[in-house]
Structures are given as C-alpha cells and as structure tokens.
Amino acid sequence: MIPVYTPHLGMKLGKVALVPYAKPGSQELFAQVEERINRGDALLLANHGAVVPGRSVMEAFYNIEELEDSARVYWMLRNVPEAKRIKE
C-alpha cells in the first residue's frame, strides 16, 4: 500500500495492507480486516486509520510513527518521476 522509499518501513514494520472502507464497528469491517490480516504487517483502514503491531505499547507507538513518516515521504514524492523505491 505504501511504497518503500526508505529502508526504515521495511526494517521496522514491513508491508502495509489496505482494508477498504466499511462502516465503523460493522461486521463488514471486521470481515475485511480478518480477510486481509495476513497480507501485511500493518493495516491501513480506509477512512479510519492504521492498525499496527507491537510487543509493547512503546513498540506499537514507534511502528505507527514509522508508518506515518513513510506515508508523509510517499505523499511528498508521489509525483516525482525520478524518486527511487527500495526493492522489497
């Protein structure tokens, strides 16, 4: 879901999978999360936010921070044709 432009996303978090929008708290949302839970190391829920793992609250905090930083880098580079992605 988020291209890897820096090594940190892959090293600290891994792949990010997208879960399409569904109404908050709905069975549809839970079903879509369950279907995609093994497709990535973190989930980005459309129009909701992110779900990231961590063995502790601090590790989860650092992982969400890395996801947010990587999303910001991607957003800034999205229209730069010469921006190089790191091979996964």
* Percentage above 90 pLDDT, the chain: 52
- Cα separation, 13 vs 8, in Å, equals 8
| H helix count then E strand count, the chain | 3, 3
Task: Report the predicted TM-score, pTM, of the whole model to 2 decimal places.
Answer: 0.77
Q: 88 pLDDT band (50/70/90 cuts)?
A: low
Mean pLDDT of 60-65: 92
Question: What does the pLDDT read at residue 25?
Answer: 93
| Domain boundaries, given as residue ranges, for the chain | 7-77
Residue 23: pLDDT over 60: yes
DSSP 6: S
Residue 30 CB coordination number (10 Å): 11
Average pLDDT over residues 60-78: 90
Q: List all residues 6 or more positions away from 18 whose beta carbon is below 8 Å from its beta carbon.
A: 1, 36, 43, 44, 46
19: nearest Cα among 47, 45, 58: 45
**Is the separation of the CB atoms in 66 and 10 below 8 Å?**
no
Task: Please report the pLDDT score of residue 87 as a whole number.
Answer: 60
Do the beta carbons of residue 47 and residue 24 sit within 8 Å? no
pLDDT, position 28: 97
Q: Average pLDDT, stretch 7-18?
A: 85
